[in-house]
C-alpha cells in the first residue's frame, strides 16, 4: 500500500487517471453508459489498481478530495466525448462516507455547474450496497435531492450486502447492478440462477433497470438475455479502457 502523503502528492501531480468500461444493451447493441474506474499512473510502479490506494484514504479527508476529483474528471471526459460527437453517460463509484457527507448534494451541484454543457442526466452515481450505510434516512434524502437535480443512482454489487431489500425499498436508485458472483457460475449453479432470476423479478416489480456485472462469455450473455436481462457489463463485452480508446470501440462494437 502507498502512503497517504504519496497519494496526496500524486493527486497534486495529476498522476491519477480514469479508465472506462462500457455498459451495453446486449439486445440492441446500444452503448448505454460507461463506468469510470480509477487507476494510478505511478511514475515508478506503473499502472496501479484502486486496491493499492483506496483503502489507505477511505476514512481520510483525502478520500473525499479524490472522490470529487473523479466526478470532475469524469464530467470533463463526457464533455470531451460529446465534442467529438459521442454522447455517453458516465457512472462514478461513490464511497459510502462521501455520499453521507452533509454537503454532498451541494458540492455535486457545484461540480455540475462547472460543466454547463453537460446535462445532469449524463452522470450516474454507483453506491456500493455492501458498505452498510449508517444513516439510511439521510442517504435516501441526499439521493432524492440529487435525483431531483437529474443525477441517476445505481446500487452496486446488488445482492451481496446486508440489507439489499431495504435498500431496494428505501433508496431511490433507478438501476441495480447485479453482482458478478451470481453471474459467474449461473449456467452450472442452480442457486445462483435462482438468485439471478429473483433479482431480475424484483427489478421488474420495482421498475429498476437491472445490469448484470461480470459478463465474461457469450454463454453468459445468451442466458441473461433468455432470463430477460439485456443490460450488461463485463470483460466479454469490453475491458476497462483509456478514454481515447472509447470512440473507436463504440464505432466497431456490433
**Interface pattern 194-233 for ligand G (x via CB under 6 A):** -------------------xxxx-----------------
Kindly tell me which residue out of 156, 175, 179, 230 binds Na ion, with binding defined by CB under 5 A: 156
User: Do 206 and 155 form a contact (C-beta atoms < 8 A)?
Assistant: no
Longest CA–CA separation in the chain, Å: 50
**DSSP per residue, 11-76:** HHTT-EEEEEEEEEETTT--EEEEEEEEEEEETTTEEE-GGGTHHHHTTSHHHHHHHHHHHHHHHH
User: Where does this chain touch Na ion (CB under 5 A) — which range of 59-67, 91-99, 138-146, 218-226?
Assistant: 91-99
Q: Which is nearer to ligand G, 83 or 142 (CB)?
A: 142
Which residues from 104-143 bind ligand G, rule CB under 6 A?
none
User: Where does this chain touch Na ion (CB under 5 A) — which range of 66-74, 112-120, 124-132, 192-200?
Assistant: 124-132
Determine the Cα–Cα distance for residues 30 and 253; give it in Å rounded to an integer: 9
Determine the Cα–Cα distance for residues 244 and 77; give it in Å rounded to an integer: 10
Alpha-carbon separation of residue 219 from 28, 109, 216, 225, 237 (angstroms): 17, 42, 8, 10, 12
User: Where does this chain touch Na ion (CB under 5 A) — which range of 74-82, 85-93, 94-102, 179-187?
Assistant: 85-93
Q: Which is nearer to ligand G, 156 or 230 (CB)?
A: 156
Q: Which is nearer to Na ion, 155 or 200 (CB)?
A: 155
Nearest one of 237, 238, 250, 243 to 78, comparing CA atoms: 243
Kindly tell me which residue out of 3, 28, 45, 49 binds ligand G, with binding defined by CB under 6 A: 49
Kindly tell me which residue out of 7, 38, 108, 246 binds ligand G, with binding defined by CB under 6 A: 38
User: Do 129 and 95 form a contact (C-beta atoms < 8 A)?
Assistant: no
What the block records as the C-alpha cell of 103 is 454537503
What the block records as the C-alpha cell of 241 is 479502457
**Interface pattern 161-200 for ligand G (x via CB under 6 A):** -------------------x--------------------
Binding positions for Na ion, rule: CB under 5 A: 93, 126, 156
Interaction site with ligand G (CB under 6 A): 21, 37-38, 49-50, 54, 70, 93, 95, 156-157, 180, 213-216, 234-235, 240
Amino acid at each position: 500500500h502507498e502512503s497517504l502523503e504519496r497519494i496526496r502528492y500524486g493527486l497534486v501531480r495529476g498522476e491519477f487517471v480514469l479508465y472506462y468500461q462500457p455498459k451495453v444493451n446486449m439486445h440492441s447493441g446500444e452503448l448505454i453508459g460507461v463506468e469510470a474506474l480509477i487507476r494510478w499512473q505511478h511514475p515508478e510502479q506503473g499502472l496501479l489498481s484502486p486496491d493499492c490506494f483506496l483503502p489507505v484514504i477511505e476514512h481520510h479527508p483525502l478520500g473525499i478530495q479524490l472522490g470529487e476529483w473523479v466526478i470532475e474528471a469524469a464530467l470533463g471526459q463526457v464533455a470531451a466525448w460529446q465534442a467529438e460527437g459521442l454522447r455517453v453517460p458516465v457512472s462514478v463509484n461513490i464511497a459510502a462516507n462521501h455520499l453521507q457527507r452533509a454537503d454532498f448534494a451541494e458540492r455535486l451541484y457545484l461540480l455540475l455547474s462547472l460543466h454547463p454543457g453537460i446535462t445532469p442526466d449524463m452522470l450516474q452515481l454507483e453506491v456500493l450496497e455492501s458498505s452498510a450505510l449508517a444513516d439510511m434516512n439521510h442517504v435516501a434524502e441526499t439521493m432524492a435531492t440529487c435525483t431531483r437535480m437529474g443525477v441517476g443512482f445505481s446500487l452496486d454489487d446488488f445482492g451481496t450486502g446486508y440489507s439489499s431489500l431495504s435498500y431496494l425499498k428505501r433508496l431511490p436508485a433507478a438501476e441495480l447492478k447485479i453482482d458478478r458472483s451470481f453471474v459467474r457460475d449461473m449456467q452450472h449453479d442452480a442457486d445462483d440462477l435462482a438468485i439471478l432470476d429473483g433479482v431480475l423479478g424484483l427489478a421488474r416489480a420495482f421498475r429498476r433497470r437491472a445490469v448484470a456485472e461480470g459478463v465474461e462469455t457469450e454463454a453468459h450473455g445468451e442466458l441473461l438475455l433468455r432470463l430477460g436481462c439485456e443490460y450488461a457489463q463485463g470483460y466479454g463485452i469490453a475491458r476497462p479502457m483509456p478514454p481515447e480508446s472509447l470512440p473507436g470501440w463504440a464505432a466497431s462494437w456490433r
